[in-house]
A = this chain, B = another copy of it.
Amino acid sequence: MLITLLTDFGLTDEFAGVMKGVILGICPQARVVDLSHGIEPGGIYQAGLMLAASYPYFPLGTVHCAVVDSGVGSKRKIIAASHGGHFFVAPDNGLLALALADNPPQSAVIVENSAYFLNPVSATFHGRDIFAPVAAYLAKGVALKDLGPAIDWQEVMSLPFSRASVEKGKIIGSIVAADRFGNLISNVSAKDLRSLVEHTRATNLEFNLSGKTIFGLSRCYSDAAHQSPVAVIGSRGYLEIAVRNGSAQKFFGAKPGAEIWAMPGRPKK
């Protein structure tokens, strides 16, 4: 009966704490784990990536509650879904796209049944009034279908670069986030790269970002020379571009959304 929280509420205000009060009032035996409350305001990609990288490390049955929701008060929907033994509650704004990119969830509904909300629901704090109680009721065993009508996953909002695409023997992916060290994290998964290697029988890889080439996939950051770029599979399971003792974000001048290519390696000039 675990519930994770992922928000852009920060830790200065009491918002995350109040969500826990609501959760523990409804489901006293729940255990609440903070994934992060430090998402940049509205940082849907950053949150989606963290969620995708984190949820497989939690026990089956965990409810993952993500509130990065600049549309609070508007007509955006809230989605609850079941996927691989995990439950997810999030705004319908693409936040779940990366976590559920591999295959559509077994079941998804639009959260509409106000019997599982606080009463009244404020116009400004759905984290407390809707997300927290819904996550608590899911942890308590309420069925998805009781929360609202089923929704076809095709109709749920996706993100422009929730999946890297593969074409003609190369992968075209995107940078989805930069971390505090300036490392650039892409949506190209370790699995995507393995599949590329299998298809092209490549013996090595190279990567292209912002017109610059990075030769080879390294095992860890420290495989690169001082101030040199390096491509690694980060601990989240996605291709990351880093600069040893430096910032890839500055080195490449690349921002979330930038295109990154992976392809069989040519002989180094």
Contacts of A11 in B (CB 8 A): 11, 34, 36-38
Q: Is A150 on the interface with B (CB-CB < 8 A)?
A: no
Q: Is A235 on the interface with B (CB-CB < 8 A)?
A: yes
Complex Cα–Cα for A36 and B9 (A)? 12
The answer on a CB contact under 8 Å between A33 and B38 is no
The answer on a CB contact under 8 Å between A21 and B220 is no
Contacts of A232 in B (CB 8 A): 123-124
1/0 contact string of A110-147 vs chain B (CB within 8 Å): 00000000000011110010000000000000000000
Partner of A221, one of B2, B33, B124: B124
Complex Cα–Cα for A14 and B17 (A)? 18
Q: Is A250 on the interface with B (CB-CB < 8 A)?
A: no
> Within the complex, what minimum Cβ distance (angstroms) separates A24 from chain B?
6
User: Which A-B residue pairs are the 3 nearest by beta carbons?
Assistant: A125-B235, A12-B38, A21-B58
Q: Is A180 on the interface with B (CB-CB < 8 A)?
A: yes
The answer on a CB contact under 8 Å between B33 and A124 is no
What is A's interface to B at a CB cutoff of 8 Å?
A: 2, 4, 6, 10-14, 16-18, 20-22, 24-25, 28, 31-38, 50, 53-54, 57-59, 62, 73-74, 122-125, 128, 179-180, 219-222, 232, 234-235
Complex Cα–Cα for A180 and B38 (A)? 13
The answer on a CB contact under 8 Å between A123 and B219 is yes
- Given A11-B36, A35-B17, A234-B124, answer yes or no on A24-B219 (Cβ-Cβ < 8 Å): no
Complex Cα–Cα for A200 and B239 (A)? 63
- Given A222-B73, A235-B128, answer yes or no on A24-B33 (Cβ-Cβ < 8 Å): yes
Contacts of A22 in B (CB 8 A): 57
The answer on a CB contact under 8 Å between A33 and B21 is yes
Look across to chain B and name the residue whose beta carbon is closest to the beta carbon of A4.
B17
The answer on a CB contact under 8 Å between B24 and A180 is no
The answer on a CB contact under 8 Å between B128 and A57 is yes
> Within the complex, what minimum Cβ distance (angstroms) separates A36 from chain B?
5
Look across to chain B and name the residue whose beta carbon is closest to the beta carbon of A218.
B123
Contacts of A180 in B (CB 8 A): 10, 12-13
Complex Cα–Cα for A165 and B21 (A)? 31
The answer on a CB contact under 8 Å between A36 and B13 is yes
Contacts of A24 in B (CB 8 A): 2, 31, 33, 58-59
Look across to chain B and name the residue whose beta carbon is closest to the beta carbon of A181.
B41
The answer on a CB contact under 8 Å between A235 and B13 is no
Look across to chain B and name the residue whose beta carbon is closest to the beta carbon of A1.
B28
Contacts of A124 in B (CB 8 A): 220-221, 232, 234-235
